[in-house]
Amino acid sequence: MTTYRQTLEEAVVAALRAIAPELEPDALEPQLPLRNQVDLDSMDWLNFLISLHERFGVSIPEADYAQLVNLNDVVDYLQARLR
């Protein structure tokens, strides 16, 4: 059974793949830093956050960027704000 968290995670990975089409979802380690694994520069990162904003309506302030290191962080962050 697919949990809400899994659904969120799939949507986040889909947003990443829109920016980095070469990304293999299975190769992504959810505990390792995202920007290193996916080679996201600051423009990619901003576009990633914009697509999350469009998808979920959650606006992530710059001050919160530091909390969003790996995939789990991003999913936790969204989950907390979508309750």
Which residues lie near other proteins (CB under 8 A)?
20-22, 39-43, 46-47, 49-50, 53, 59-63
Q: Give Cβ neighbours of residue 49 (< 8 Å, ≥ 6 apart).
A: 60
- Spatial neighbors of 7 by CB under 8 A, at least 6 apart, are none
Nearer to other proteins (CB atom), residue 60 or residue 75 = 60
Beta carbons of 30 and 70 less than 8 angstroms apart: yes
Token reading at 63: 């001050």
Indicate the residue among 58 and 76 with the shorter CB distance to other proteins: 58
Least separation in angstroms between residue 67's CB and other proteins is 15
Closest separation between CB of residue 70 and other proteins, Å? Answer: 17
